[in-house]
């Protein structure tokens, strides 16, 4: 029997151990998509206790606790932090096979030096240990200790980016903290507060003015080092319309009328195409996140708002529309570097083949299949994403892992990913399916762990 989560956790062969310890582990981290607060980084936030770090905003943990029958009072309610930690420890202790089990224990090992197993019985000793260690830890120290070279936060175009500016001006922090451009609200024409949102972008009287304002904001983001944009949606839309039709749809919305479903799609297509061309012109990577159904429990949504652990995988992504959208940009050779993420793993093979149709010499893996995302961010999901990408695409060009997290402890997810990658590659070598060629293996492992992302996002010094 192997020891519990020891040095060779998830590594079952000599080749896998060699690839991980000698090639993957020493590589720094580029976290090109996360939801950390730049304000907390600038102010170098400290945390009073482990509940604040772990349970403060982590809806992955909230839904696991609900699944274990824990009362909401101990999740997002008014129980004390110690009481909440107890319920979390009891929940986690039995969560065999859940990635939160592995992530949490990697975090306990890497940041707090705790090598035991957290459960209801050990909760008190872990609580004491973590809170003692947290006195020496802070947002910046956690990032630096994790060997992070650059991280990309997620920001609205209307954001002043004040905290990014302050971090850059301050100059004392050696890690690049770059904004990402996420204009979901500008695309959300069906939303009730849409017109109020537009006011945040300036005086907008037409679709042309909206596109102009968004491009101006994008240029501002780029001036502060932005390398990547992000779009979240149920599915990637594609419906053609003339310029005049799009202007008419937009004016209708300004007048207070909600456009029809087709009109919404036409508007979104037109705006996404405008943005896509601009991303291409400025060398900004376009990320498309789709396949999600958000806020399924209206009851919880009313109490807690979005990102409360009530989302799910959807079945709506239209591969045909996605391909048409990418094709429209590719038509004039204005398709930016693009990363596709579907929350529905059934889409993986289709996505990888759509990507293959649009690859060019512009970049290694110009169109990427994003790493296993959210509900797929576990061992089986990662193996499935890596295997599909290898079979129908070019695994060696993959830009690899990101945390997509709100927590400063989540860098352990990069370690988790690298171990799974090395175990998979190692198994192919051990099985005689790929040669034991150290030079090539090193290129692949270092590339996927770090170097591909550095090149792809243009982050080399």
d(C-alpha 432, C-alpha 426), whole Å: 10
Minimum CB distance to Zn ion smaller for 59 or for 451: 59
CA distances from 54 to 198, 252, 408 (A): 35, 45, 9
Q: Which stretch binds Zn ion (CB under 5 A): 129-137, 242-250, 253-261, 402-410?
A: 402-410
Interface with Zn ion in residues 154-173 (CB under 5 A): none
The residues that bridge with 151 in the sheet, in sequence order, are 31, 177
Query: Helix 412-430 crosses helix 438-446 at what angle (to 10 degrees)?
Result: 150
Minimum CB distance to Zn ion smaller for 201 or for 228: 228
CB of 154 vs Zn ion, minimal distance in Å: 6
Minimum CB distance to Zn ion smaller for 274 or for 404: 404
CA dihedral 102, 382, 403, 2 (to 10 degrees): 20
CB of 279 vs Zn ion, minimal distance in Å: 18
CB of 247 vs Zn ion, minimal distance in Å: 32
Phi and psi (nearest 5°) for 406?
-100, 0
Q: Which helix (H) or strand (E) holds 342?
A: strand 338-342
Query: What one-character DSSP code corresponds to residue 148?
Result: E
Nearest to 59 by CA among 300, 239, 265, 381: 300
Minimum CB distance to Zn ion smaller for 358 or for 375: 375
Q: Which stretch binds Zn ion (CB under 5 A): 191-199, 277-285, 300-308, 400-408?
A: 400-408
Interface with Zn ion in residues 70-99 (CB under 5 A): none
The residues that bridge with 339 in the sheet, in sequence order, are 287, 368
CA atoms within 13 A on the CB side of 302: 3
CB of 414 vs Zn ion, minimal distance in Å: 15
CB of 338 vs Zn ion, minimal distance in Å: 16
CB of 176 vs Zn ion, minimal distance in Å: 19
Q: Is 415 in the site for Zn ion (CB under 5 A)?
A: no
Minimum CB distance to Zn ion smaller for 288 or for 304: 288
CA dihedral 337, 343, 346, 351 (to 10 degrees): -10
Binding mask 350-389 for Zn ion (x = CB under 5 A): ----------------------------------------
Which of 263, 377, 404, 415 touches Zn ion (CB under 5 A)? 404
Nearest to 397 by CA among 352, 429, 430: 352
Strands lying side by side in the sheet with 176-178: 29-31, 148-152, 176-178
The residue nearest Zn ion at its CB is: 404
Minimum CB distance to Zn ion smaller for 311 or for 404: 404
Give me the DSSP letters along 86-115. HHHHHHHHT-TT-HHHHHHHHHHHHHH---
CB of 230 vs Zn ion, minimal distance in Å: 7
- Contacts with Zn ion by CB under 5 A: the residue count is 1
Query: Helix 207-223 crosses helix 243-254 at what angle (to 10 degrees)?
Result: 90
Minimum CB distance to Zn ion smaller for 204 or for 226: 226
CB of 208 vs Zn ion, minimal distance in Å: 30
Q: Which stretch binds Zn ion (CB under 5 A): 192-200, 397-405, 429-437, 448-456?
A: 397-405
Minimum CB distance to Zn ion smaller for 370 or for 447: 370
CB of 373 vs Zn ion, minimal distance in Å: 8
Question: Positive or negative, the Cα torsion across 243, 245, 249, 255?
Answer: positive
CA atoms within 13 A on the CB side of 272: 34
Minimum CB distance to Zn ion smaller for 358 or for 374: 374
Q: Which stretch binds Zn ion (CB under 5 A): 177-185, 240-248, 398-406, 451-459?
A: 398-406
CA distances from 257 to 192, 242, 288 (A): 10, 20, 28
Minimum CB distance to Zn ion smaller for 263 or for 404: 404
CB of 232 vs Zn ion, minimal distance in Å: 7
Binding site for Zn ion (CB under 5 A): 404
């Amino acid at each position: 029997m192997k020891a519990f989560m020891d040095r060779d956790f998830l590594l079952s062969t000599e080749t896998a151990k060699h690839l991980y310890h000698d090639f993957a582990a020493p590589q720094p981290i580029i976290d090109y998509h996360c939801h950390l607060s730049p304000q907390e980084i600038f102010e170098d936030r400290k945390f009073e206790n482990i509940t604040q770090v772990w349970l403060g905003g982590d809806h992955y943990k909230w839904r696991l606790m609900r699944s274990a029958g824990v009362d909401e009072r101990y999740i997002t309610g008014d129980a004390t932090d110690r009481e909440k930690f107890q319920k979390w420890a009891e929940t986690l202790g039995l969560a065999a096979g859940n990635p939160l089990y592995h992530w949490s224990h990697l975090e306990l090992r890497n940041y707090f030096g705790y090598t035991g197993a957290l459960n209801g019985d050990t909760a008190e000793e872990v609580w004491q240990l973590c809170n003692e260690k947290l006195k020496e830890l802070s947002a910046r120290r956690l990032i630096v200790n994790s060997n992070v070279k650059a991280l990309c936060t997620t920001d609205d175009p209307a954001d002043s980016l004040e905290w990014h500016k302050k971090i850059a001006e301050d100059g004392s922090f050696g890690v690049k903290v770059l904004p990402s451009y996420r204009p979901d609200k500008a695309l959300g024409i069906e939303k009730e507060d849409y017109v109020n949102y537009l006011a945040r972008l300036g005086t907008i009287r037409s679709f042309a003015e909206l596109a102009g304002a968004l491009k101006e904001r994008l240029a501002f983001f780029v001036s502060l080092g932005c390398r990547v944009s992000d779009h979240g949606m149920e599915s990637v839309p594609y419906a053609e319309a003339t310029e005049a039709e799009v202007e008419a749809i937009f004016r209708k919305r300004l007048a207070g009328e909600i456009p029809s479903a087709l009109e919404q799609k036409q508007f979104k297509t037109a705006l996404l195409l405008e943005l896509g061309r601009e991303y291409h012109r400025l060398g900004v990577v376009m990320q498309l996140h789709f396949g999600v159904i958000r806020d399924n429990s209206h009851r919880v949504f009313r109490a807690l708002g979005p990102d409360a652990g009530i989302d799910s995988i959807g079945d709506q992504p239209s591969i045909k529309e996605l391909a048409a959208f990418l094709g429209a940009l590719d038509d004039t050779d204005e398709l930016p570097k693009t990363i596709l993420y579907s929350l529905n793993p059934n889409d993986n093979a289709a996505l990888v083949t759509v990507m293959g149709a649009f690859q060019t010499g512009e970049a290694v893996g110009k169109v990427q299949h994003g790493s296993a995302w959210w509900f797929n961010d576990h061992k089986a999901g990662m193996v499935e994403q890596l295997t599909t990408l290898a079979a129908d695409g070019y695994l060696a060009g993959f830009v690899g892992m990101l945390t997509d997290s709100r927590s400063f402890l989540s860098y352990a997810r990069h370690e988790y990913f690298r171990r799974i990658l090395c175990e998979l590659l190692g198994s192919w070598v051990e099985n005689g399916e790929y040669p034991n060629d150290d030079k090539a293996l090193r290129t692949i492992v270092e590339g996927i762990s770090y170097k591909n992302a550095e090149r792809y996002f243009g982050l080399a010094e």
